Structure 1
Amino acid sequence: MSQPTTDRGVLDQFEQRLYDEVSIDEPWDLLEEFATLNRVSGSDDEVAAADYVCDRLDANGVTYRRHEPELYISQPHGATIETIGKEFEPGPIKTVSFSASTTVSGPVEYVGSAGGDLLEEEDDPREPYHDVGDLSGRIALTKAGSLSIRAVRKLSEKGAIGVIAIHKHDREPHNGIATPIWGGAPRYDEREKIPDVPIANVNSPDGETLREWAESDEGLEIELSTDLTTDWMECPVVVAEIEGEADPENDDFVLLHGHYDSWYVGVTDNATGDAGLLEAARVFEQHSDELDRNLRIAWWPGHSTGRYAGSTWYADQFAQELAERCVAQVNMDSPGAKDATEYTDMSCWTPEAHDLVGDAIDDVTGAPYEEHFPYRAGDYSFDNLGITGFFMLSSNIPAEIREERGYHPVGGCGGNSDAWHVSTDTLEKAGEDELLRDIRLYVISVARVLNADVLPFDHARTAAKLREAVQRYDEAAGDRFDFSPTLNRLDALKAEIEAFQDAAEAGEIDATTANDTITSLSRVLTRLYLVERGQFEQDPATGREPFPRFSVARKFEVVEGDEVGFVETQLTREQNTVVGELERARSIVADAMGGGA
């Protein structure tokens, strides 16, 4: 499969040197090592992987810190389904992280698909399984694909004593996690949100057999058993520190990061990302004397079995430092999948980073790309801090190729459903050319932030995206709620930011003031775009829409009676908060314009 080409003429001399010095040698050595390690968090293999990264950082002269936090991890060991009165010889059956570890028996009821997977539910303002009745004493069988968190919660609330999810994979179900608690460990007052029912995943043929039996006149009774270890476990966090020596007075930094734990050996999820992080550390360390800002490169544990526990721990422990000095967070997850030649399905970024990312993709790869709203997923554990983010996933196999191969949609591994969260994510799923290209893209895009005189983030675009989202909510609300206080302020703010950006580009505002203003705007606008909770909290790991504070407006499509007033009350209070935040953003811009050079 042919690779798109690079337009070297648009790279400056420094970028050309970085581009040329990125090599596949160090990354591929890491892949070959990690391809032998089942890096589940809390395991010896995970520690061996952290040791390898540290050894290679030492060999390349890169300074780093190795932390050893205890994270709340849930390791799934296995699940069984015993059909009562029927002969059943299933393929692999898996439980999920944070399932209850127990045995239950009872009749099975097929409850449908709840509208599909987690991301599809965002298109439906109704609760999952809104038309399913009482499930007390019954085991729910659902065609929920990757098994959304909302699905488990709603089925449990309806009385289900267990849940079996039918996955789309014909050979083995995908591994997964069921807790809505971002970071694994709940606050004390949210302990009850961890699922208290056993959960199992089955492949598509086995699921259809169970469904046929459950929907027959005689029905189906089963015994469902799950086996997990859920506990506090010591898991290494490795963070390389590369000081930008060209401007030693500048303490701002970019955080480039990815998870190194995995399901099985997880080559394209995420050994390829770990390899890219290591190569980026090697190359940037060689050029630290040419960097204006600092760079941190982090390898996280607890992504798969702790709901992003490693990155959440770091966000908690270094919250003030991140809030004050981190100008961008860049996630390297699932790059370099074989035959991935586009950036159209999986690459995400916050609106202000659009031009930076698009230009870098054009310049470094020449490949097609599309913008996507950042899902509440990946290791985007820094949203509540209000930090600009770009990339969550990386390149993808073109849709027509995936369709020819019979792949169903998945959220990683370049779209290769025969790799994502299954045992076959092995070395042959990675491509040397694809990985080299993706690493170069990350390196160039990060370099453009590290050495920008004025940070390349367009918050007028963020304001416009916020307005688009509010306009959709306004249309959903009709005459039942007035969003004009928000819309009017967003219009004014967009114009004010545009004037600020023009002045900064013309040199009428000094770079320090301009950069402080851009970062301060991110702390307000990025948070409005992505989160609901406070700056030093974590939103739950459930699907979200742009401007989630106002997403309850979509309930107007389905509520009636007293509930209409409840929605109006919530929106009134949310809008009061939003108006205050937008006025703060306007003051930030006004201060910059008044204090320009």
Structure 2
Amino acid sequence: MTTSEEQAVMNTAVVDHAWSLVEAFGRMRRQDPQEAAAAGEEIARRLQALGLPVTVHRPRLYLAVPKDAHVTLGGQRFRARPAQLAQTAPGGLTAKLVFVENPVGPPVGWTPNSAVLFGEGYDPAPGVPDVTGKIVLFRGMILAEKILHFAALGAAGVIAVNPGPDMHWGSGSAIWGTPDLDDLPGRTPIPGCAVSRPDGDVLIEAAQRGESATLTTIVEEGWFDQVLPEVRIPGEEPDFALLHGHYDSWDVGVGDNATGDACMLEVARVIHANRQHLRRGVRICWWPGHSTGKFAGSTWYADEFARDLARHCVAHMNCDSPGCRDATDYPTIPWMAENRAFVTDAVRDATGKVAGGKRPTQSSDFSFNNLGISGCFSASSRIPKEEVERRGWYFVMGNGGNTAWHTDRDQMEVADPGVLLTDIRLYALALFRLATLPSIPLDPGALVADLQGHLQRYAKAAGDRFDLSPAARAFDDLARRLRAFEAANTDPAVATRVRLAVLRLLVPLDYTRGTRYRRDFGLPAPPLTHLAVAAELDRYPPAALGFATTSLKRGLNHALAAVEAAAEAIP
């Protein structure tokens, strides 16, 4: 159900201003830093022309711009996409090829230096052939964790064989944003690239014959001045909701993310036109450095305004790849457990559709997990699964499921103004609710229940090797306190304060390994990250099991401190 004010917000939305920006960006590459900066200035100019209060930040970011890559095999030369922010091979790296059918990585804690502690004969990656000094081929997208896994096993380079006829751009770095001194040792030490499936099949056949190839990657790295437009619309209170998305892209990147930039432009106009209703403020940011800096723009903002965000940001919403042609379903919206009901209600009320969701991955400018800020969206509408299968497409994260994602085919035909208008109304409604409802529409109890389920799974996997019952008791106590509070409290302001206090502690517990003011590496983060090794204990031989249980003991202390503090925050 929508209120008259909410309906007015959705009715205020039009597609004209947004579609004009999509068309402009469809002619404007935003890949190199200079190109991206010009696009940021264009966004700021359009915001000003609409009479919106825009501030232009000018961060200096460390970026890596892919220039060229290819693989040479005998007399054949295959085009490739280099994995940027990784070691490069501008002069060419020649080595034997090896194909890895099942690319399993070593367990946490295993490195060549620690291998001796796992015992003689221990195999850190069962089923993976010897990759020492070789160029590894595997099927899939280029991902930092794959390159790092193979590097740990001794590989000299990595080639990802993409699932179809396209080569998809992708990152080679696990470092989130501009590196600090602690991050620098984590730089990816070997080069990587992506090739198309037809070319990859040729290379795999060569690997099976024991042949060698030469991998060449050329990437320009350095410090670049960038442009970060921000709209701030104040409310009655100092708290605010944050909507954000990136404007740099691969090539012209219409579906990823010109449509998202346009969506946010119109949402900013709509919210500003209805600002008299705002209880909380609204901030809308357009990020540079998403693709070439591993979310460098949003990380800069999280660093620059960390204390303000930690005190006052009630939630954040990412806007990536809305408005793509034929994307009329909402099956896999990234949401955290505490905002699941909020997102499903917004999708139902704005589109009439039933939403499905998934746990957010370490992507999409979710640069605020360490600050304890609840986040949702990034992907929104997608092409129905049946239609994707009919077209013979494979899964991609963005572009509503269109395989033009992260390729130079991501052009105007990917976008649709009608779908974009629907998604604009969805984002506008969700953001308006975050800014106007008497209490924030987030449910810490749902997050606690979710964490309890993961804890039970970990406890079952650990068996008698580690006792997680203290955490189970602490979560049970927290759940009881939350239920009692929500049943008895009638003050919306108190509800907001308590829910935020609990979430500031539990969101990092669920999604991060590090500290509040330093972002984790962009590697997979299982639920209850400090306790997740409990599910992997079978991978540790007797000689190394004690190291894993020591990690669990420290992780348990970390979890207990957070859960007990959350319970104490409830009056």
Give per-residue Cα distances to partners, 1:117-154, cap 9 Å, x unaligned. Answer: xxxxxxxxx998544354343222222x1123222112
Contact 1:66 1:236 in 2 (8 A): yes
Any idea what SS the aligned residue of 2:8 has?
helix
Tell me which of 37, 59, 73 is aligned to 2:63. 73
Contact 1:129 1:154 in 2 (8 A): no
What is the aligned partner in structure 2 of residue 263 from structure 1?
250
What is the aligned partner in structure 1 of residue 193 from structure 2?
200
Letter in 1 for 2:76: F
What is the aligned partner in structure 2 of residue 478 from structure 1?
463
Aligned partners of 1:99, 1:323: CA distance in 2, in Å?
Answer: 32
Aligned partners of 1:496, 1:323: CA distance in 2, in Å?
Answer: 24
Tell me which of 391, 398, 406 is aligned to 1:412. 398
- Asked if 1:105 is matched to 2:86, the reply is no
Letter in 1 for 2:15: I
What is the aligned partner in structure 2 of residue 401 from structure 1?
387
Aligned partners of 2:330, 2:510: CA distance in 1, in Å?
Answer: 22
- Asked if 1:39 is matched to 2:25, the reply is no
CA distance 1:336–1:226, change in 2 (3 Å): same
Aligned partners of 2:434, 2:159: CA distance in 1, in Å?
Answer: 46
Aligned partners of 2:394, 2:124: CA distance in 1, in Å?
Answer: 22
Residue 232 (structure 1) shift:
1.1
- Asked if 1:62 is matched to 2:52, the reply is yes
Q: Which runs of 5+ in 1 are unaligned?
A: 1-9, 117-125, 591-597
Tell me which of 413, 423, 426 is aligned to 2:411. 426
Letter in 2 for 1:493: L
Q: Which runs of 5+ in 2 are unaligned?
A: 106-121
Letter in 1 for 2:438: D
CA distance 1:289–1:128, change in 2 (3 Å): farther
What is the aligned partner in structure 2 of residue 120 from structure 1?
none
1:551-590 map, 5 Å: 551-590=532-571
Tell me which of 63, 76, 81 is aligned to 1:88. 76
Aligned partners of 1:199, 1:389: CA distance in 2, in Å?
Answer: 31
Any idea what SS the aligned residue of 1:296 has?
strand
Letter in 2 for 1:471: Q
Residue 315 (structure 1) shift:
0.3
What is the aligned partner in structure 1 of residue 351 from structure 2?
365
Contact 1:35 1:267 in 2 (8 A): yes
Residue 503 (structure 1) shift:
2.3
Residue 28 (structure 1) shift:
0.3
Any idea what SS the aligned residue of 1:201 has?
strand
CA distance 1:193–1:18, change in 2 (3 Å): same
Residue 557 (structure 1) shift:
2.4
What is the aligned partner in structure 2 of residue 497 from structure 1?
482
What is the aligned partner in structure 2 of residue 5 from structure 1?
none
Q: Which moved more, 1:567-576 or 1:323-332?
A: 567-576
Tell me which of 295, 303, 323 is aligned to 1:308. 295
Give per-residue Cα distances to partners, 1:296-350, cap 9 Å, x unaligned. Answer: 00000111111100000100110000000000111011111111111113x1111
What is the aligned partner in structure 1 of residue 224 from structure 2?
233
Aligned partners of 1:474, 1:61: CA distance in 2, in Å?
Answer: 56
Q: Which moved more, 1:105-114 or 1:379-388?
A: 105-114
Tell me which of 4, 7, 24 is aligned to 1:13. 4
Give per-residue Cα distances to partners, 1:232-284, cap 9 Å, x unaligned. Answer: 1111111111112xx2xx11000100000000111111111100110011111
What is the aligned partner in structure 2 of residue 4 from structure 1?
none
Letter in 1 for 2:221: T
Residue 190 (structure 1) shift:
3.0
Aligned partners of 2:390, 2:456: CA distance in 1, in Å?
Answer: 39
Residue 23 (structure 1) shift:
0.5
Work out the percentage of aligned pairs sharing the same amino acid.
36
What is the aligned partner in structure 2 of residue 320 from structure 1?
307
Residue 580 (structure 1) shift:
1.3
Any idea what SS the aligned residue of 1:537 has?
coil
Contact 2:133 2:156 in 1 (8 A): yes
1:515-594 map, 5 Å: 515-590=496-571
Give per-residue Cα distances to partners, 1:460-479, cap 9 Å, x unaligned. Answer: 11110110111110111111
Tell me which of 353, 356, 360 is aligned to 2:342. 356
Residue 36 (structure 1) shift:
0.8
Aligned partners of 2:320, 2:126: CA distance in 1, in Å?
Answer: 35
Residue 371 (structure 1) shift:
2.2
Aligned partners of 2:287, 2:350: CA distance in 1, in Å?
Answer: 27
Any idea what SS the aligned residue of 2:286 has?
strand
Q: How many residues align?
A: 553
Residue 192 (structure 1) shift:
2.6
Contact 2:103 2:128 in 1 (8 A): no
Q: TM-score if structure 2 supplies the norm length?
A: 0.94
Residue 542 (structure 1) shift:
0.9
CA distance 1:523–1:499, change in 2 (3 Å): same
Aligned partners of 1:570, 1:435: CA distance in 2, in Å?
Answer: 47
Any idea what SS the aligned residue of 2:354 has?
coil
What is the aligned partner in structure 1 of residue 112 from structure 2?
none
CA distance 1:127–1:282, change in 2 (3 Å): farther
Letter in 1 for 2:378: M
Any idea what SS the aligned residue of 1:391 has?
strand
Aligned partners of 1:563, 1:541: CA distance in 2, in Å?
Answer: 26
Aligned partners of 2:88, 2:477: CA distance in 1, in Å?
Answer: 54
Aligned partners of 1:18, 1:544: CA distance in 2, in Å?
Answer: 37
What is the aligned partner in structure 2 of residue 284 from structure 1?
271
Tell me which of 157, 181, 188 is aligned to 2:175. 181
Aligned partners of 1:468, 1:565: CA distance in 2, in Å?
Answer: 25
Aligned partners of 2:143, 2:81: CA distance in 1, in Å?
Answer: 16
Aligned partners of 1:449, 1:223: CA distance in 2, in Å?
Answer: 53
Letter in 2 for 1:139: I
Aligned partners of 1:570, 1:89: CA distance in 2, in Å?
Answer: 47
Q: Which moved more, 1:234-243 or 1:100-109?
A: 100-109
Tell me which of 405, 421, 429 is aligned to 1:444. 429
Aligned partners of 2:52, 2:516: CA distance in 1, in Å?
Answer: 32
Residue 396 (structure 1) shift:
0.8
Letter in 2 for 1:406: G
Aligned partners of 2:339, 2:153: CA distance in 1, in Å?
Answer: 43
Letter in 2 for 1:157: A
Aligned partners of 1:375, 1:200: CA distance in 2, in Å?
Answer: 22
Residue 187 (structure 1) shift:
2.4
Aligned partners of 1:156, 1:453: CA distance in 2, in Å?
Answer: 52
* Aligned Cα root-mean-square deviation (Å): 1.6
Aligned partners of 1:115, 1:148: CA distance in 2, in Å?
Answer: 13
Any idea what SS the aligned residue of 2:179 has?
coil
- Asked if 1:252 is matched to 2:232, the reply is no
Aligned partners of 2:361, 2:11: CA distance in 1, in Å?
Answer: 33
Contact 1:76 1:97 in 2 (8 A): yes
What is the aligned partner in structure 2 of residue 339 from structure 1?
326
Any idea what SS the aligned residue of 1:576 has?
helix
What is the aligned partner in structure 2 of residue 211 from structure 1?
204
